[in-house]
Structure 1
Amino acid sequence: MHTIKSWFWPGVITIALLTALAVWFLTDPIDRELTASVNDGLALQNDWASAEIDGRDLVLKGIAPSEEALAAALKIAGETEGVRIVDNQTTLLPLADPFSFVVTKSDEGILLSGNVPYGDARAKILAAAENAMPGIEILDEMAVARGAPQGFFNLVDFALAQAAQLTNGEVEISGTTYNIRGTAANLNDYDRLNAAFHTALPGNAEAGEIKLEAPARASSN
């Protein structure tokens, strides 16, 4: 028995180590290949999702901008050859209902707040704000969310154009309703602002609260 023990256990340990090493060197490249394959597929349609592989089990991570985007990512992951199980650890962006956007103009500059869709929407809105009100400092406090109404960028462009005619105040989009409060820069802007909110608004939007004041100098005449 002593003789058997002297060679048996070292032999078992050696075999176990060799097996572990073989599994390590054989499966790790497979993991890397599967991970690269899935992530390449995801990158074609999604820039929010990422995948990790453990054996042949896939973990999908990220914050999905929409339910449709999540379904597409799950389809890509599930249809990748070699993947056995997809563990969905993604989350959805919060849904804003109503989806809001606010332009606040003051002596300090322009504050953009409320909600902004996922993607390049933030950059587009900031560029539009700079174009509408050049030379004014812009502070960005927009939060990414789901639920933007159809034609959202047209709504935003209109809001920025009206805010440009205020000395101070705010233009708010709540769903597809415009609210405006503040003081017009001059009498012509006061007339234009009132006219703009009493005509057809972009995206079938409607006017809500309209509280406009004429500039102090004009109102005192």
Structure 2
Amino acid sequence: MRTIRSWFWPGVITVALLTVLAGWFLTDPIDQQLTDAANAALSADNSWASADIDGRDLTLKGVAPSEEALAAALGIAASTPGVRTIDNQATLLPLAEPFSFVITKSDDGILLSGNVPFGDSRARILASAENAMPGIEILDELAVARGAPEGFLDLVDFALSQAAQLTNGEVEISGKTYSISGTAANAADYDAINAALRAPIPGNGKPGEIKLEAAVNTSGG
């Protein structure tokens, strides 16, 4: 019996340790493979999302631009082969009610403030601002949010074109309400701004507060 004890228990302990070590070394590669697969699937249409997997349990992280995008990411995570459970730690972008956009034009340049949708909208707006008012410094203080009304970018383009006709002033979009105040660069711009406001406003915009002044002619004669 002593001989049996001398080799039996050390052997059992060795096998147990080898089993634990095998599980330890095999688990990490499997988790990494699942993580890579989940993130590759998410990156196609949900670049905001990321996944971490531990022991086949997936944790979804990120800030979703919409409820639909969050649902889509959860669906992709759930369909990843090998995933056992999903812990949704993703959050939604803040909802802006009303969704606002403000252009402030002064001698110092252009200030863009308010809200901007998730995605490439910011880059598009900045490009439109530079095209409408070339050579003028543009300060971007836009915050990404949900809640942009349909036609928002069309209304922004219209606002930028009118801001270009001001020497100073402010153009504000609040939901679909469009307001403008300030001084037109000249009589022609004053007439052009007012004429555009009498026509249907792009993006289904609705006229709000209009406070325009014509430029004062200081040339004399």
**Which residue does the alignment assign to 1:21?**
21
Any conservation in 1 of the 2:117–2:144 contact (CA below 8 Å)? Answer: yes
**Which residue does the alignment assign to 1:159?**
159
Secondary structure of the residue aligned to 2:44 is: helix
C-alpha distance 5-99 of structure 1, shift in aligned 2 (>3 A): farther
C-alpha distance 116-7 of structure 1, shift in aligned 2 (>3 A): same
Q: Tell me how far 1:18 sits from its aligned partner.
A: 2.0
Secondary structure of the residue aligned to 1:112 is: strand
Residues 152-175 of structure 1: per-residue CA shift (max 9 Å, x gap): 111010000000000011101111
Structure 2: how far apart are the matches of 1:216 and 1:104?
20
Structure 1 range deviating more: 68-77 or 5-14: 5-14
CA RMSD of aligned residues (A): 2.2
Q: Tell me how far 1:193 sits from its aligned partner.
A: 1.1
C-alpha distance 8-113 of structure 1, shift in aligned 2 (>3 A): farther
The alignment's TM-score, normalised by the length of structure 2, stands at: 0.92
Secondary structure of the residue aligned to 2:77 is: helix
Any conservation in 1 of the 2:151–2:204 contact (CA below 8 Å)? Answer: no
Q: Within the alignment, does 1:69 sit opposite 2:69 as a pair?
A: yes
Structure 2: how far apart are the matches of 1:208 and 1:70?
35
**Which residue does the alignment assign to 1:111?**
111
- What is the number of equivalent residue pairs in this alignment? 220
**Which residue does the alignment assign to 2:178?**
178
**Which residue does the alignment assign to 2:201?**
201
Structure 2: how far apart are the matches of 1:185 and 1:195?
15
Structure 1 range deviating more: 189-198 or 143-152: 189-198
**Which residue does the alignment assign to 1:136?**
136
Structure 2: how far apart are the matches of 1:61 and 1:162?
41
Q: Tell me how far 1:25 sits from its aligned partner.
A: 1.5
Structure 2: how far apart are the matches of 1:4 and 1:96?
76
**Which residue does the alignment assign to 2:47?**
47
Structure 2: how far apart are the matches of 1:174 and 1:88?
33
C-alpha distance 9-167 of structure 1, shift in aligned 2 (>3 A): farther
Q: Tell me how far 1:14 sits from its aligned partner.
A: 3.9
Q: Tell me how far 1:67 sits from its aligned partner.
A: 0.4
**Which residue does the alignment assign to 1:191?**
191
Q: Tell me how far 1:191 sits from its aligned partner.
A: 1.2
Q: Tell me how far 1:4 sits from its aligned partner.
A: 9.5
**Which residue does the alignment assign to 1:91?**
91
Structure 1: how far apart are the matches of 2:135 and 2:89?
44
Structure 2: how far apart are the matches of 1:18 and 1:193?
80
Structure 1: how far apart are the matches of 2:135 and 2:77?
47
Secondary structure of the residue aligned to 1:115 is: strand
Secondary structure of the residue aligned to 1:34 is: helix
Q: Tell me how far 1:199 sits from its aligned partner.
A: 1.6
The letter for the 2-side match of 1:132 is A
Structure 2: how far apart are the matches of 1:17 and 1:142?
57
The letter for the 2-side match of 1:76 is I
Any conservation in 1 of the 2:37–2:80 contact (CA below 8 Å)? Answer: yes
C-alpha distance 19-216 of structure 1, shift in aligned 2 (>3 A): same
**Which residue does the alignment assign to 1:35?**
35
C-alpha distance 12-168 of structure 1, shift in aligned 2 (>3 A): farther
Q: Tell me how far 1:93 sits from its aligned partner.
A: 0.3
C-alpha distance 209-5 of structure 1, shift in aligned 2 (>3 A): farther
